[in-house]
């Protein structure tokens, strides 16, 4: 009998179950870090590619656009595949795409190969949210699911942080082609780890249901949504999509992710110039403040993993923390605080936004129909791509028009709208649970 089967047959919270849970969380986290790591591989090579081929920044930026455009389309659709063939093979496919993309970059002889590498990398990147959340929801015990969600977010941030150091180190020691090969090798190591752990990542534990929901309540919840108790993964893609599109809660979740992505885009793209124009903070210190936001958000994700189990109403945590983050951005936009306090407020906003993440993911779990975990997470998370594609241009126009504090106000407003949407989605989930 395999270790995973033994663990499943053990008491619900035995040492074997705890060990299995953390192994699964670690494997999923390592794979997710590869996704964020590879999002920055091409941008870290911009200067090297410009020197090698003479490309301008518009051409180089188009490579990143290709990556994320393909990823946004794939993320909305890959969940259907995950729910039908299982997450483990799709996860390995995504990692293989990264390996191939890195090798194409390393052996490229012109723009066509680089564009192909960006497209293949985007295909790989598209699978991770549907895959990761499908595995976490189906394979991790409810007692540690919040920690699984927080670790998932934390490892993504660590992947972003690793890329510039990793790639710059290999470029310094050798050249940019070697750095691209090294990136492929790093992902290949994680791919091998997921292959070794394939039994733990495959299948589902039917005994593990959302915290606070008994089997009878879960069945009634599905019936209250106007669905049969059939597994949506066994229905056609068209029928599954038709069923999901009739659920306002999922549209609310999609808009929630779009709003939080708009806020993050404002912060990532324009906090540095706004700290300079509003508070006279130099670029180096402003850049450190932005790094502080990301670090504080990572710390908040860890804290949120403990907080998520404190109440079954996860939307309350999301509402409170996002409103607090919005308050700090409003104070920043007011210009009333000094430079030192402004840097502190940036970090506090990052912390509270990070705390909301595990509860946010738990909220989506509560409104996900049976057999549609990958599909739902893929669809709602595609809202992030929508927000990320629209916000930079809109906030850039604000700054060009002289509204030097506009992006901070936009971030605050988007967080408040997201908080309200979370309450609305949570209300639907609560109504189902009572039905």
Q: Above 70 in pLDDT, residue 73?
A: yes
Contact 102, 184 (CB under 8 A): yes
Pairwise CA distance, residues 323 & 253, whole Å: 17
**What is the biggest distance separating any 2 CA atoms in the chain, rounded to whole angstroms?**
67
Q: What per-residue confidence (pLDDT) applies to 215? A: 37
Decide whether 13-201 matches 224-434 in CATH topology: yes
Q: What per-residue confidence (pLDDT) applies to 244? A: 59
Pairwise CA distance, residues 297 & 160, whole Å: 13
Q: Give backbone dihedrals phi and psi of 165, rounded to 5 degrees, phi first.
A: -70, -45
pLDDT, the chain, mean? 83
pLDDT band at 242 (very low <50, low <70, confident <90, very high): low
The string of pLDDT tens digits covering residues 416-428 is 999 999 999 998 8
From residue 153, give the alpha-carbon distance in Å to each of 32, 45, 199, 305, 327.
Answer: 8, 25, 23, 10, 23
Sequence ranges of the domains in the chain: 13-201, 224-434
In the chain, pLDDT over 70 holds for what percent of residues? 85
Q: What is the 3-state secondary structure (H, E, C) of the chain?
A: CCHHHHHHHCCCCCHHHHHHHHHHHHHHHHHHHHHHHHHCHHHHCHHHHHHHHCCCHHHHHHHHHHHHHHHHHHHHHHHHHHHHHCHHHHHHHHHHHHHHHHHHHHCCCCHHHHHHHHHHHHHHHCCHHHHHHHHHHHHCCHHHHHHHHHHHHHHHHHHHHHHHHHHHHHHHHCCHHHHHHHHHHHHHHHHHHHHHCHHHHCCCCCCCCCCCCCHHHHHHHHHHCCCCCCCHHHCCHHHHHHHHHCCHHHHHHHHHHHHHHHHHHHHHHHHHHHHHHHHCCCHHHHHHHHHHHHHHHHHHHHHHHHHHHHCCCHHHHHHHHHHHHHHHHHHHHHCCCCHHHHHHHHHHHHHHHHHHHHHHHHHHHHCCCCCCHHHHHHHHHHHHHHHHHHHHHHHHHHHHCCCCCHHHHHHHHHHHHHHHHHHHHHHHHHHHHHC
In the chain, pLDDT over 90 holds for what percent of residues? 41
Pairwise CA distance, residues 176 & 157, whole Å: 23
Q: Above 80 in pLDDT, residue 134?
A: yes
Q: Above 70 in pLDDT, residue 222?
A: no
Q: What per-residue confidence (pLDDT) applies to 43? A: 86
Q: Above 80 in pLDDT, residue 205?
A: no
Q: What per-residue confidence (pLDDT) applies to 384? A: 80
The string of pLDDT tens digits covering residues 141-167 is 888 888 898 899 889 888 887 888 899
Degrees, nearest 5: CA angle 262-263-269: 85
pLDDT band at 371 (very low <50, low <70, confident <90, very high): low
Q: Which two tokens stand for residue 154?
A: 């934390």
Q: Above 70 in pLDDT, residue 435?
A: no
Pairwise CA distance, residues 96 & 105, whole Å: 14
Q: Above 60 in pLDDT, residue 21?
A: yes
CB atoms within 10 A of CB 393: 10
From residue 49, give the alpha-carbon distance in Å to each of 46, 172, 236, 328.
Answer: 5, 15, 45, 40
Q: How far does CA 302 lie from the centroid of its chain? A: 15
Q: What per-residue confidence (pLDDT) applies to 6? A: 42
Contact 17, 11 (CB under 8 A): yes
Pairwise CA distance, residues 373 & 370, whole Å: 7
Q: HSE-up of 393 (CA within 13 Å, CB side)?
A: 5
Q: Which residues fall within 8 angstroms of residue 329, CB to CB, at 6 or more apart?
A: 263, 345, 349, 408, 409, 411, 412, 415
Superfamily of domain 13-201: MFS general substrate transporter like domains (1.20.1250.20)
Q: Give backbone dihedrals phi and psi of 214, rounded to 5 degrees, phi first.
A: -80, 160
The lowest-confidence range among 35-39, 67-71, 87-91, 346-350 is 67-71
pLDDT band at 239 (very low <50, low <70, confident <90, very high): low
Q: Above 60 in pLDDT, residue 120?
A: yes
Q: How far does CA 213 lie from the centroid of its chain? A: 26
Contact 275, 387 (CB under 8 A): no
The string of pLDDT tens digits covering residues 396-411 is 888 888 888 899 999 9
Q: Does domain 224-434 have CATH number 3.30.70.1110?
A: no
Q: What per-residue confidence (pLDDT) applies to 105? A: 98
Over residues 72-90, the mean pLDDT reads 85
Q: Above 50 in pLDDT, residue 201?
A: yes
Q: What per-residue confidence (pLDDT) applies to 373? A: 72
Over residues 41-55, the mean pLDDT reads 91
pLDDT band at 65 (very low <50, low <70, confident <90, very high): confident
Q: HSE-up of 244 (CA within 13 Å, CB side)?
A: 32
The lowest-confidence range among 34-48, 209-223, 251-265 is 209-223
The string of pLDDT tens digits covering residues 167-182 is 999 999 999 999 999 9
Q: Above 60 in pLDDT, residue 208?
A: no
For tokens 């006279």, the residue is 280
């Amino acid at each position: 009998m395999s270790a995973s089967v033994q663990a499943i047959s053990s008491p619900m919270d035995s040492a074997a179950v705890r060990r299995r849970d953390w192994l699964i969380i670690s494997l999923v986290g390592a794979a997710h870090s590869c996704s964020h790591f590879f999002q920055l591989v091409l941008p870290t090579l911009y200067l090297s590619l410009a020197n090698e081929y003479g490309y301008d920044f518009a051409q180089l930026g188009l490579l990143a656009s290709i990556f994320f455009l393909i990823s946004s389309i794939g993320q909305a659709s890959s969940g259907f595949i995950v729910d039908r063939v299982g997450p483990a093979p799709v996860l390995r496919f995504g990692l293989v795409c990264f390996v191939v993309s890195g090798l194409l970059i390393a052996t490229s002889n012109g723009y066509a190969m680089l564009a192909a590498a960006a497209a293949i990398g985007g295909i790989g990147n598209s699978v991770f949210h549907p895959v990761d959340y499908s595995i976490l929801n189906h394979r991790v015990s409810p007692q540690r699911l919040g920690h699984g969600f927080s670790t998932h977010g934390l490892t993504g941030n660590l992947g972003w942080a690793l890329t510039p150091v990793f790639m710059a180190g290999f470029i310094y020691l050798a050249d940019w082609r070697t750095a691209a090969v090294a990136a492929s090798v790093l992902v290949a190591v994680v791919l091998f780890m997921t292959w070794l752990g394939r039994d733990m990542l495959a299948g589902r534990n039917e005994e593990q249901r959302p915290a606070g929901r008994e089997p009878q309540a879960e069945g009634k919840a599905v019936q209250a949504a106007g669905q049969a108790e059939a597994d949506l993964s066994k229905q056609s893609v068209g029928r599954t999509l038709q069923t999901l599109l009739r659920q306002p809660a999922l549209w609310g979740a999609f808009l929630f992710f779009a709003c939080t992505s708009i806020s993050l885009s404002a912060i990532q793209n324009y906090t540095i110039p706004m700290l300079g124009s509003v508070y006279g903070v130099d670029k180096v210190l402003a850049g450190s403040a932005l790094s502080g936001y990301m670090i504080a958000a990572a710390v908040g994700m860890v804290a949120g993993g403990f907080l998520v189990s404190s109440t079954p109403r996860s939307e309350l945590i999301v509402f409170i923390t996002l409103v607090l983050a919005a308050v700090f951005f409003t104070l920043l936009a007011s210009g009333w605080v000094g430079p030192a306090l402004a840097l502190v407020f940036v970090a506090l906003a990052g912390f509270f936004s990070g705390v909301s993440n595990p509860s946010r993911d738990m909220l989506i779990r509560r409104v996900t129909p049976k057999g549609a975990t990958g599909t739902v997470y893929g669809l709602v998370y595609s809202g992030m791509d929508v927000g990320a594609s629209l916000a930079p241009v809109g906030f850039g126009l604000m700054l060009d028009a002289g509204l030097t504090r506009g992006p901070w106000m936009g971030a605050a407003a988007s967080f408040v709208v997201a908080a309200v949407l979370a309450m609305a989605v949570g209300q639907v989930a609560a109504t189902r649970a009572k039905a």
